Amino acid sequence: MKRKWKLEEVNLLFKKPLIDLIYTAQNIHRKYFNPSEMQISTLLSIKTGLCPEDCQYCAQSSRYKTDLKSEKLLNIKKVIAKAQHAKNAGSNRFCMGAAWRNPKAKDMPYLIKIIKKIKNMGMETCMTLGSINIEQAKQLFDAGLDFYNHNLDTSPEMYKKIITTRTYEERLHTLEIVSQSGIKVCSGGILGLGENTTDRAKLLLELSNLKKIPDSVPINMLVKIPGTPMENNTKIHDFDFIKTIAITRIMMPKSYIRLSAGREHMYETMQAMCFLAGANSIFYGCKLLTTTNSSQKKDKKLFKKLGIYSKNAFLNYVNHKKKFNINNNINYYNAAIN
Q: Which residues are catalytic?
A: 51, 55, 58, 95, 126, 186, 258
Query: By the 8 A CB rule, do 97 and 46 touch?
Result: yes
Binding mask 95-124 for ligand DTB (x = CB under 6 A): --x---------------------------
Assess 21 for contact with ligand SAM (CB under 6 A). Answer: no
φ and ψ of 46, to 5 deg: -95, -15
Assess 218 for contact with ligand SF4 (CB under 6 A). Answer: no
Query: By the 8 A CB rule, do 267 and 224 touch?
Result: no
Q: Which range of residues in 69-77, 106-114, 217-225, 267-275 is near ligand SAM by CB under 6 A?
A: 217-225
Query: By the 8 A CB rule, do 280 and 40 touch?
Result: no
Assess 149 for contact with ligand DTB (CB under 6 A). Answer: yes
Q: Which of residues 41-60 bind ligand SAM (CB under 6 A)?
A: 57-58
61 binds, among ligand DTB, ligand SF4, ligand SAM, none (CB under 5 to 8 A by kind): ligand SF4
How far CA 224 is from CA of 26, 204, 331, in Å, comes to 30, 23, 40
Query: By the 8 A CB rule, do 241 and 193 touch?
Result: no
125 binds, among ligand DTB, ligand SAM, ligand SF4, none (CB under 5 to 8 A by kind): none
262 Cβ neighbours under 8 A, 6+ residues apart: 192, 220, 221, 222, 223
Assess 48 for contact with ligand SF4 (CB under 6 A). Answer: no
Q: How far apart are the C-alpha atoms of 96 and 285, rounded to whole Å?
A: 13
Q: Which of 21, 38, 43, 58 binds ligand SF4 (CB under 6 A)?
A: 58
CB of 260 to ligand SAM, least distance (A): 7
Assess 153 for contact with ligand SAM (CB under 6 A). Answer: yes
Q: Which is nearer to ligand SF4, 25 or 126 (CB)?
A: 126
Give me the helices (H) in the chain, please. Answer: 7-15, 18-32, 76-89, 108-120, 134-143, 156-162, 168-181, 197-208, 238-251, 268-276, 296-306, 311-323
φ and ψ of 102, to 5 deg: -160, 155
Q: How far apart are the C-alpha atoms of 232 and 66, rounded to whole Å?
A: 14
61: left (phi over 0), alpha (psi -120 to 50) or beta: beta
Binding mask 84-123 for ligand SF4 (x = CB under 6 A): ---------------x------------------------
Binding mask 175-214 for ligand DTB (x = CB under 6 A): -------------x--------------------------
Nearest to 92 by CA among 127, 123, 115, 126: 123
- Taking the alpha carbons of 222, 281, 49, 155 in that order, is the dihedral positive or negative? negative
Q: Which is nearer to ligand SAM, 37 or 107 (CB)?
A: 107
Nearest to 185 by CA among 215, 222, 143, 223: 215
Q: Which of 49, 90, 130, 285 binds ligand SAM (CB under 6 A)?
A: 130
Q: Which of 40, 83, 95, 222 binds ligand SAM (CB under 6 A)?
A: 222
φ and ψ of 45, to 5 deg: -85, 120
Assess 204 for contact with ligand SAM (CB under 6 A). Answer: no
Binding mask 47-76 for ligand DTB (x = CB under 6 A): ------------x-----------------
Query: By the 8 A CB rule, do 225 and 231 touch?
Result: yes
Assess 220 for contact with ligand DTB (CB under 6 A). Answer: yes
| Site for ligand DTB, rule CB under 6 A | 43, 59, 97, 128, 149, 151, 188, 218, 220, 223, 260-261, 288-291
| Site for ligand SF4, rule CB under 6 A | 51, 53, 55, 58, 60-61, 99, 130
